[in-house]
């Protein structure tokens, strides 16, 4: 099938590449000419494990192409996927200006039997509005389908090629048949292809992300309570997780969720609920708890140094909003860096892949280190923000030798607190039982 992706970011590039890998002819379009030039040279503008190999292989085979000219490729395409960004407006609602501009750019070039598939995460009603706009722009009915994407950055290819489910919202059954044909290679292990109306598909994406965000904020709030009452969230987590009604997924305490999806999607659904006169009490709390949780590491550091961080150096391990990605959008590390700089502290930071993106924001305000150990030179404390695998088994002797004091604030509970204390560290995680050294700076 001939396909066009409008928007070649995380979602568009992964989707286009995986569809090319399953034998389709795909052209990825982007208004960012620099990005298209790089892709045409075999350079991948984002970090996503396994993606380079797939892009290069499919580009060589001629099944995957890149262009900035939608008009040249849209007329021949059966499905045109919109995978452009849907950022957050100041009031929390989704900003659809990029989506509408992309829709206008393809409308004059659509063939009679093409299907416009909206993969971007969009508020309920957007697909119907897209169909209305396309009717106005083309003078005829154009098929529009909602096909929300559930992939996770860092695991995107695996998620796309082995989806738990594919969700498709349509107004006509024939459109679902076209999309089923496209997804068939990825559904061989009996994963469901769920067909519903446009509104249900749109809501499914938001409800999924909001429930996952709710689990994170819930366990973070419980962790904060545990810390105050002498309980250990790790034990509590196991105590609840073995209950089959609860399970373990997405119940790891930490420093709050970030990334390009959860924060904005929670706020966009808050906005949809409010516009429909529903008070989104749970969602509002999820967002509030998350905003507060991003402050926790700084508060702990500040308390440890009795509010006197000026001139002290703090080492940070992990800048990306989660491991296996270079995405730093709404990353908890950025909040920590801002607070430390405001308090007059110096920051030495390492991340396996996100340093370039952080440098674009902070320039020479912080020191970037090529290895985790380099961050420790002259530092009085280490803060762990992202749970990269390479941080899980460090050489604690080196850490103790390099740090000016053996102080670790771990935002991801990577280590065994007992073991850390036996090794002489002042070790503080999230929701772990307080220990007698906690107040000593
Ligand atoms: N990133 C994720 O993990 C993820 C997962 C599921 C869903 N989503 C949703 O998918 C959508 C895209 O997210 P993303 O992370 O891929 O965004 P992104 O910002 O990485 O990529 C969007 C791309 O669209 C391009 N673009 C903008 N206007 C264009 C136009 N008129 N024509 C062609 N290209 C244009 C931009 O230059 C950019 O390269 C969002 O709605 C997001 O919420 C993202």
Domain count, the chain: 3
Mean pLDDT by 10 residues, the chain (441 residues): 98 98 98 97 93 97 98 98 97 97 98 97 98 98 98 95 97 98 93 97 98 98 96 96 96 97 97 98 98 98 98 98 95 98 98 98 98 98 98 98 98 96 97 61 40
Residue nearest to atom 19 of ligand 1 (CA): 85
Q: Tell me, yes or no, whether 201 lies in a domain.
A: no
Ligand 1 centroid, distance to 87 Cα (angstroms): 9
10: in domain: yes
Q: Within a 10 A sphere around the Cβ of 193, how many other Cβ atoms?
A: 16
Query: Does one domain contain both 411 and 312?
Result: yes
Residues 70, 166, single domain; the answer is: yes
* Catalytic position from the list 79, 210, 261, 369: 261
Looking at the domain assignment, is residue 283 inside a domain? yes
Instruction: Give, for ligand 1, the residue of 74, 85, 86, 331 to mutate: max count of ligand atoms closer than 8 Å to Cβ.
Output: 85
Query: Looking at the domain assignment, is residue 100 inside a domain?
Result: yes
| Residue 349 alpha carbon to ligand 1 centre in Å | 28
Tell whether 26 and 151 lie within a shared domain. yes
Residue 302: give its domain's CATH number.
3.40.50.720
CA 315, CA 33: separation in Å to the nearest integer? 37
Do the domain assignments include residue 435?
Answer: no
Residue nearest to atom 1 of ligand 1 (CA): 10
Q: How many CA atoms lie within 13 A of 188 on its CB side?
A: 4
Clarify whether 210 is annotated catalytic: no
Interval between CA 274 and ligand 1 midpoint (Å): 26
Q: First CA to last CA across the chain, in angstroms?
A: 64
The answer to whether 344 and 313 have CB atoms below 8 angstroms apart is: no
Domain final position from 292, 309, 324:
292
pLDDT tens-digit series, residues 371-381: 999 999 999 99
Kindly state whether residues 13 and 158 are assigned to the same domain.
yes
The verdict on 41 and 189 lying in the same domain is yes
Tell me: do 319 and 356 sit in the same domain.
Answer: yes
Residues 330, 186: Cα–Cα separation, whole Å: 31
**Cα angle vertex 124, ends 119, 125, to 5°?**
95
Alpha carbons 301 and 38: distance in angstroms, whole number: 42
- CA–centroid distance, residue 366 to ligand 1 (Å): 29
User: What is the DSSP secondary-structure string of 102-167?
Assistant: HHHHHGGG--TT-EEEE-S---TTHHHHHHHHHHHHHSS--EEEE------TTSHHHHHHS-S-EE
pLDDT (tens digit per residue) in 30-62: 999 999 999 999 999 999 999 999 999 999 999
Per the listing, tokens 């740090």 go with: 403
| 332 and 419 housed in the same domain | yes
Closest residue (by CA) to atom 33 of ligand 1? 30
> Is the residue at 393 inside a domain?
yes
Neighbours of 281 (CB within 10 A): 10
Q: What's the CA gap between 84 and 10, in Å, rounded?
A: 10
Domain that holds residue 387: 294-428
Token pair for 256: 């709050």
Q: What is the pLDDT of residue 438?
A: 44
For ligand 1, atom 10, the nearest C-alpha belongs to: 120
Q: What is the pLDDT of residue 439?
A: 43
In the structure encoding, which two tokens stand for residue 115, read together? 């299907």
Of 292, 312, 347, which residue constitutes the final position of a domain?
Answer: 292
| Closest among 440, 335, 344 to 383, alpha carbons compared | 335
Query: Are residue 288 and residue 302 in the same domain, yes or no?
Result: no
Q: Which residues line ligand 1 (CB under 6 A)?
A: 6-12, 29-32, 35, 83-86, 98, 101-102, 105, 120-121, 149, 151, 153, 260-261
Domain boundary (292, 326, 343) is at 292
Q: What is the pTM of this model?
A: 0.95
pLDDT of residue 433: 77
Of 135, 146, 85, nearest to 110 by C-alpha is 135
Of 172, 296, 277, 152, give the one whose Cα is nearest residue 228.
296
The pLDDT value recorded for residue 314 is 98
Task: Please answer whether residues 118 and 145 qualify as being in contact, where contact means their C-beta atoms are separated by less than 8 angstroms.
Answer: yes
Phi-psi region of 413 (alpha: psi -120 to 50; beta: other; left: phi over 0): left
* Residue to probe by mutation, ligand 1, list 17, 83, 265, most atoms within 8 Å of CB: 83
Q: Are residues 169 and 66 in the same domain?
A: yes
Asked whether residue 380 is assigned to any structural domain, the reply reads yes
**Residue 384: strand, helix, or coil:** strand
Nearest to 365, CA basis, from 383, 400, 405, 338: 338
Decide if 267 is inside a domain: yes
Q: Is 167 in the same domain as 57?
A: yes
Q: Identify the pLDDT of residue 435.
A: 53
Same domain, 383 and 303: yes
Whether residues 38 and 163 fall in one domain: yes
State in Å: Cα 267 to ligand 1 middle. 18
């Amino acid at each position: 099938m001939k396909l066009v992706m409008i928007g070649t970011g995380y979602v568009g590039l992964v989707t286009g590449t995986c569809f090319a890998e399953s034998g389709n002819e795909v052209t990825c379009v982007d208004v960012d000419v620099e990005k298209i030039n790089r892709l045409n040279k075999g350079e991948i503008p984002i970090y996503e494990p396994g993606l380079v190999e797939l892009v290069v292989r499919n580009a060589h085979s001629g099944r995957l192409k890149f262009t900035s000219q939608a008009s040249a490729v849209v007329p021949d395409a059966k499905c045109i996927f919109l995978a452009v960004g849907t950022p957050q407006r100041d009031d929390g609602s989704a900003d659809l200006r990029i989506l509408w501009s992309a829709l206008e750019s393809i409308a004059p070039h659509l063939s009679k039997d093409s299907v416009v598939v909206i993969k971007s995460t969009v508020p309920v009603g957007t697909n119907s509005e897209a169909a209305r706009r396309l009717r106005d722009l083309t003078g005829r009915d154009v098929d529009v389908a909602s096909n929300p994407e559930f992939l996770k950055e860092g695991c995107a290819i695996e998620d796309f090629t082995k989806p738990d489910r594919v969700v498709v919202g349509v107004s006509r059954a024939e459109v679902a048949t076209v999309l089923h044909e496209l997804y068939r290679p990825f559904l061989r292990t009996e994963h469901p292809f769920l067909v519903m109306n446009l509104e249900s598909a749109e809501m499914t994406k938001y409800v999924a992300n909001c429930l996952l965000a709710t689990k994170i904020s819930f366990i973070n709030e419980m962790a904060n309570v545990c810390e105050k009452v002498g309980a250990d969230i790790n034990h509590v987590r196991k105590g609840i997780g073995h209950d089959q009604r609860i399970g373990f997924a997405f119940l790891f305490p930490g420093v709050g969720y970030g990334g390009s999806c959860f924060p904005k999607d929670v706020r966009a659904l808050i906005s949809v609920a409010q516009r429909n006169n529903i008070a989104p009490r749970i969602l509002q709390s999820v967002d509030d708890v998350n905003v507060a949780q991003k402050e926790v590491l700084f508060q702990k550091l500040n308390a440890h140094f009795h509010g006197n961080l000026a001139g002290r150096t703090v080492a940070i391990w992990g800048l990306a909003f989660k491991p296996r990605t270079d995405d730093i959008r709404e990353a908890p590390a950025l909040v920590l860096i801002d607070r430390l700089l405001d308090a007059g502290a110096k920051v030495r930071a390492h991340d396996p892949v996100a340093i370039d993106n952080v440098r674009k924001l902070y320039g020479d305000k912080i020191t970037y280190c090529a290895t985790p150990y380099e961050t420790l030179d002259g530092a009085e404390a280490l803060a762990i923000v992202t749970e990269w695998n390479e941080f899980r088994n460090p050489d604690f002797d080196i850490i103790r030798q390099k740090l000016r004091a053996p102080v670790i604030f771990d935002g991801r509970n990577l280590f065994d607190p007992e073991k850390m204390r036996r090794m002489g560290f002042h070790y503080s995680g999230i929701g772990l039982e307080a220990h007698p050294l906690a107040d000593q700076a």
